[in-house]
Amino acid sequence: MNKLKRNLLAVIILLLAFGLAVGQTNTDAPVKVTFLHVNDVYQFMPVEGGKRGGLARLLTLKKEVLKENPNVLFTLGGDTLSPSVETRTYKGAQMIDAWNAIGLDFSVFGNHEFDLKTTELLKRIKESKFTWLGANIVDTNTGKIFAGTPEFVIKEFDGVKIGILGVILPEAKETSSMDDTLKVTDYCLTANLIVSRLRRVEKVDAVVGLTHLFMAQDKKLAQCADFDLILGGHEHTLLQSSSNGTPIFKVTADAREMGKFTLNFDRTTKKLQSMDWELIPVTDEIPDAPEFAVIVDKYKDLLEKLSEPVGRTSVTLDALSLSNRTKETNIGNFIADAYRDAAGADIGFVNGGSIRADLIYSPGVLTKRDVISMLPFNNPIVKIELDGKTLLEVLEHSVARSAEDNEPGRFPQVSGMKFTFDTSKPAGNRIVEAFVGGKRLVEEAKYSFATSDFLVSRGGDGYSMLSKGKVLIGAENARKDSEVFEQKIRKAPDSTISPRLEGRIKRIN
């Protein structure tokens, strides 16, 4: 053996010894499996003026986690295909493109997935490179799970088997346009059967629930089936709980933060020994993953149009559905003013249910997206003449569900008038007093009234009495709601608005 060969042999022996040493450490080290989780993500671009969220940043975070540990699963806790301004054009296909680019592994169906027509939703499922879960959505025609969705999946990492299943809240049926042929079955019973099978028959080493439920339901779920971890969604609130020893997590919405959950298994026994978790804020300090640029590019035209600034707000705007359907709000006042100004009427009147977005807008820039998110329906703003008696009828109708319903869509936001109502009185008798232009409402007087044509010609939200009004500006000559809203923002001094609560609506009881 010459010197060169001897040296080579020495190197090989050294390498073998080193390899063995590395192998030795690996035998002791736990098998780590990391779940990266987000929920309720309606747009792939960042939110809050670019400060938070953004799927290009999520991809960067995922790539970093992959460097520490190749055993990574990316999960979504449902609600992504709707509602959004983009979905009006692309029917959720834009989100599927984005999730495919991220390399999402699993998503549970959220209630909002069923805002889409079933035929559209089935197309989206087909386009998905990830697996949808939702074991308790049953097609009553076949008795099988909706869209051929698997009851559960099993992923194996270094011999460790993890079972994953998804369930959805029963309320999904009433709060979406889910087909009559679909049924949401009991999530507890469903999970109990599947988890038992995963543990006893499939011999998995851990079970993870991917859910779209209210937290109280998640807690109940943890009582009726033996989960190691539940990753949820639906509330849009950062929630961390434990029930029956099972940790339950959900993050806010639109990927403002990402949950990172690492399950540590004994390499020999495969037993789950411990869990680590961390909530990572997704901020503008995280660079975009360059691979995501193709997605942004594909939807560039619409995104650019939507991101066009129309003005600013110097105050926080309350566009929450609950607020706009129960009390006077600053944005409700502003929109009602916009209707009244645009039509040149005595009164501007907005049904709270037509103010959408369901968001709080912090002071800052307002974009076209914000305007359309708040008023998405493109309703013409018509002007009619009402006598005082009918106006009182309108007001009584507007608060007739305020004691009975959590969020009555008919609840009004008003301009040019004030009123007080008492929810302890019977419906139809709740208006205590009302003023128009600072003067007490007179039943014989005539008032001009600007509102959405949806209420006038279609009797929307039950406002059938509005059809009695004499039409002064009809739908064919009327301007659209989002257009008059946008114009009022642009026309404000420095295009900056600062609407306030002014005591236009007072509630007793």
Residues that bind Zn ion (CB under 5 A): 79, 110-111, 234
Select 45 or 169, whichever has its Cβ closest to Zn ion. Answer: 169
Select 79 or 486, whichever has its Cβ closest to Zn ion. Answer: 79
Measured from the CB of residue 172, what is the shortest distance to Zn ion in angstroms? Answer: 8
Measured from the CB of residue 239, what is the shortest distance to Zn ion in angstroms? Answer: 13
Shortest CA distance to 339 belongs to which of 452, 262, 245, 197?
452
Measured from the CB of residue 105, what is the shortest distance to Zn ion in angstroms? Answer: 20
Q: Is 14 exposed, middle or buried (0-12, 13-18, 19+ CB in 10 A)?
A: exposed
Select 234 or 250, whichever has its Cβ closest to Zn ion. Answer: 234
Select 110 or 380, whichever has its Cβ closest to Zn ion. Answer: 110
Select 124 or 234, whichever has its Cβ closest to Zn ion. Answer: 234
Select 78 or 416, whichever has its Cβ closest to Zn ion. Answer: 78
Select 38 or 295, whichever has its Cβ closest to Zn ion. Answer: 38
Measured from the CB of residue 453, what is the shortest distance to Zn ion in angstroms? Answer: 30
Select 221 or 478, whichever has its Cβ closest to Zn ion. Answer: 221
| Cβ pair 236, 40 in contact under 8 A | yes
Shortest CA distance to 92 belongs to which of 52, 59, 125?
125
Rounded Cα distance between 147 and 166, Å, is 14
- The residue sitting closest to Zn ion, measured at its beta carbon, is 234
- Catalogue the E-assigned strands of 77-134: 106-108, 131-133
| Cβ pair 193, 146 in contact under 8 A | no
Q: Give me 243's structure tokens.
A: 């029930």
- Dihedral sign computed on CA atoms, order 187, 193, 195, 198: negative
In one letter, which amino acid is 381?
A: I
In one letter, which amino acid is 445?
A: A
Q: Give me 357's structure tokens.
A: 């977005």
Measured from the CB of residue 58, what is the shortest distance to Zn ion in angstroms? Answer: 20
| Cβ pair 382, 340 in contact under 8 A | no
Give the Cβ contact number of residue 506 at 10 Å. Answer: 14
Rounded Cα distance between 495 and 499, Å, is 13
Measured from the CB of residue 249, what is the shortest distance to Zn ion in angstroms? Answer: 16
Select 111 or 448, whichever has its Cβ closest to Zn ion. Answer: 111
Q: Give me 288's structure tokens.
A: 């975009």
Measured from the CB of residue 185, what is the shortest distance to Zn ion in angstroms? Answer: 18
Measured from the CB of residue 104, what is the shortest distance to Zn ion in angstroms? Answer: 17
Select 234 or 340, whichever has its Cβ closest to Zn ion. Answer: 234
Rounded Cα distance between 55 and 259, Å, is 14
Measured from the CB of residue 279, what is the shortest distance to Zn ion in angstroms? Answer: 20
Shortest CA distance to 334 belongs to which of 319, 346, 353, 356?
319
Select 107 or 415, whichever has its Cβ closest to Zn ion. Answer: 107
Strands 182-184 and 479-480: unpaired
Shortest CA distance to 249 belongs to which of 271, 273, 226, 228?
228
Measured from the CB of residue 501, what is the shortest distance to Zn ion in angstroms? Answer: 29
Shortest CA distance to 35 belongs to which of 204, 279, 219?
279
Look-up of token digits 């073998």: 16
| Cβ pair 501, 495 in contact under 8 A | no
Measured from the CB of residue 247, what is the shortest distance to Zn ion in angstroms? Answer: 21
